[in-house]
Amino acid sequence: MAKSTLSFICQNCGAAYNRWQGKCDSCGEWNTLAEEDTTGSVPVSIRSKRKGRTFALESLSGKTQDAPRLSSGMAELDRVTGGGFVRGSVLLVGGDPGIGKSTLLTQATSMMARAGHRAVYISGEEAVAQVRLRAERLGLADAPVQLASETSVEDIVSTLSEGAVPRLIVIDSIQTMWTDTVESAPGTVTQVRASAQALIRFAKKTGATIILVGHVTKDGQIAGPRVVEHMVDAVLSFEGEGSQQFRILRSAKNRFGATDEIGVFEMTGLGLREVTNPSELFLSERELGSPGTAVFAGIEGTRPVLVELQALVAPTSLGTPRRAVVGWDPSRLSMVLAVLEAHCGVKLSGHDVYLNVAGGLRIQEPAADLAAAAALVSSLVNAPLPTDAVYFGEISLSGAIRPVAQTPARLKEALKLGFGRAILPESARGDGGGDSGLALNTVGNLTTLVAEIAARGTPRGGRAAPRDDQGGSSAADPVEKNATPARFRRETS
């Protein structure tokens, strides 16, 4: 019998220590170390000494074929996975509680079963009756999906090995699974890692596609050891706000497709509805002619998406103005505010700044800098932006507008939705944007854009801005006159 070995394992990152300590040195989290029995996670028969066998080595050159794929029946899910499920692949799906992970996978398994494939849904958190109630609510009770409520990995593998090989297996969730090969409680790092290894081994051996559902931490990261994310073939994140009906399925890792691809769904009373044109959905409730709003033409994976950026700049009585942002990187907002103050003469030190991406979408690309800056200045000077214009471009620390990739795709999406003009970097005109059908207003420096927006601005009361004896703006003007271009000063004097 093997000697029992106790170690302290971090439940957040999986780091192991010989003694307990309050803080994990690997991930920096407090009170995450738990005592676990780490007596070999491999059976004794496998750990026995044996002579290694030789195997053939091959070269990089040779005939290759694209991996055969199986459509899930949901176009948005196929888009994120790269065109469908690959035989023998293992996917890890994470998301906040109640976001709709089980609903999405119930619909996917039902469509696969209706197409004539063997689909199995195994739940470790719900009873079979509870899964049936969800299927009835979604109108999928007649789908020939095979259900089970089980947590033992050995029993699951033994059951699935009988009969025809399932084409799709859903494990909900991996944190509830346990295996006899390790002596730890279900949900611990050791159990999650060993259970995932056994299921992945079964998928690679039989060619079945397995979807593992994973819990998430308070920071939105998939719970459990990060080694599980390296073991699987794809990591999908299901995102969305509880108050919003939109859901975003985002690909963070995919060995068989593009990363940063998204699929858009709408939560309805009958489950998740696919959104084929997310740009139109995100802009459906847009207020036209309102100051502080700008339409950003972005790219999510391979899909162009138009989304509204909303900004509010209000005077503050606090010693330190507040900076709040939802759906965008706070560091980039701080950088844009610094460039506006240093190079454009926009006085924001006495104002609270709020920035929101409408629709619950999270923007990660720097091309949103120009749209965010336009929305901020528009709110500050009370100047509505043109309702038929889209904005995109990266702002450098010097105030210059840098080009971004995939300009033709952004302009084509804007033209399809009825927009008439685009404000973009100067170099983008030569990237295929000249024949887009839109009126292109190129901007080389952020100062030029600020001057054009400030020229249309009016105070909150609706009266003209007060002028001094020399015809310039008064000291209360939030945009300094000497920070605008000479051409703008001549035209407004």
In a shared domain, residues 172 and 245: yes
In a domain, 199, yes or no: yes
Residues 114 and 142 in one domain: yes
Which of 109-113, 298-302, 463-467 ranks highest by mean pLDDT? Answer: 109-113
Q: Are residues 351 and 433 in the same domain?
A: yes
Helix or strand or coil: residue 281?
Answer: helix
Between residues 124 and 47, which one has the greater pLDDT?
124
Please tell me the predicted confidence (pLDDT) of residue 184: 80
Quote the pLDDT of residue 38.
Answer: 59
Q: What is the pLDDT of residue 410?
A: 92
CATH code at position 257: 3.40.50.300
Structural domain contains residue 60? no
Closest CA to 92 of 258, 286, 290, 234: 234
Distance of alpha carbon 359 from alpha carbon 349, whole angstroms: 29
At 131-184, the pLDDT tens digits run 999 999 999 999 999 999 999 999 999 999 998 999 999 999 899 999 998 888
Q: Which of 218, 253, 276 is the last residue of a domain?
A: 276
**Residue 62 falls inside a structural domain:** no
Q: Which residues pair with 238 in a beta bridge?
A: 95, 249
Residue 78, H or E segment: helix 75-81
Res. 240 pLDDT band, cuts 50 70 90: confident
Strands 33-37 and 6-10: antiparallel
Q: Which residue has the tokens 């055969």?
A: 68
Instruction: Give pLDDT, residue 217.
Output: 72
Q: Which of 231, 260, 276 lies at the terminal end of a domain, its last residue?
A: 276
Q: Given a cut of 50, is residue 45 above it in pLDDT?
A: no
Q: Which of 367, 362, 353 is nearest to 395 (CA)?
A: 367
| Sequence-ordered list of residues with C-beta below 8 angstroms from that of 13, at least 6 positions apart, any chain | 24, 26, 27, 29, 32, 225, 226
pLDDT at 459: 62
Per-residue pLDDT reduced to its tens digit, 269-289: 889 999 888 887 788 778 788
Q: Residue 26: its pLDDT value, please?
A: 82
Please give the pLDDT value at position 261: 83
> How, if at all, do strands 33-37 and 69-70 pair?
unpaired
- At 423, which CATH number? 3.30.230.10
Adjacent-strand bridge partners of 246: 266
What is the band of 36 on the pLDDT scale with cuts at 50, 70, 90?
Answer: confident
Does residue 48 belong to any structural domain of this protein?
A: no
Q: Is residue 47 part of a domain?
A: no
Instruction: Judge if 419 and 485 occupy the same domain.
Output: yes
Whether pLDDT at 97 is above 70: yes
Query: Is there a single domain that holds both residue 192 and residue 313?
Result: no
* DSSP assignments along 370-395, one per residue: HHHHHHHHHHHHT-PPPTTEEE--EE
Are residue 213 and residue 246 in the same domain, yes or no? yes
- Which of 161 and 457 is assigned the larger pLDDT? 161
In 321-459, which residue ranges form alpha helices assigned H by DSSP?
330-343, 369-381, 407-416, 446-455
> Cα separation of 171 and 190, whole Å?
18
Neighbours of 442 (CB within 10 A): 16
Q: pLDDT at position 432, please?
A: 57
pLDDT band with cut points at 50, 70 and 90 for residue 429: low
Q: Using only C-alpha atoms, what is the Rg of the chain?
A: 28
Position 153 in a domain? yes
Average pLDDT over residues 205-230: 82
Judged against a pLDDT cut of 70, whether residue 62 lies above it is answered with yes
* pLDDT above 70 as % of the chain: 85
> Which of 254, 276, 298 is at the close of a domain?
276
Mean pLDDT of 252-265: 87
CA–CA gap between residue 119 and residue 166 (Å, rounded): 6
Print the domain residue range for 31: 6-39
Q: Is residue 50 part of a domain?
A: no
The answer to whether residues 340 and 453 belong to one domain is yes
Task: Say whether pLDDT at 482 is over 70.
Answer: no
Is 240 buried (19+), middle (13-18) or exposed (0-12) by CB count in 10 A? buried
Q: What digits encode the pLDDT tens for the residues 330-354?
A: 999 999 999 999 999 998 888 999 9
124 and 20 assigned to the same domain: no
Kindly tell me if the per-residue pLDDT of 47 is higher than 90: no
Do residues 235 and 328 both lie within one domain? no
**Do 305 and 260 have their domain in common?**
no
Q: Note whether residue 58 is domain-resident.
A: no
pLDDT tens, position by position, 344-390: 999 888 899 999 998 778 888 899 999 999 999 999 999 999 999 99
Total domains, the chain: 3
154 and 251 belong to one structural domain = yes
**In contact, 261 and 80? CB cutoff 8 Å:** yes
Task: Specify whether 203 is located in the same domain as 321.
Answer: no
Q: Does pLDDT of 222 surpass 90?
A: no
Residue 489 has pLDDT above 50, yes or no: no
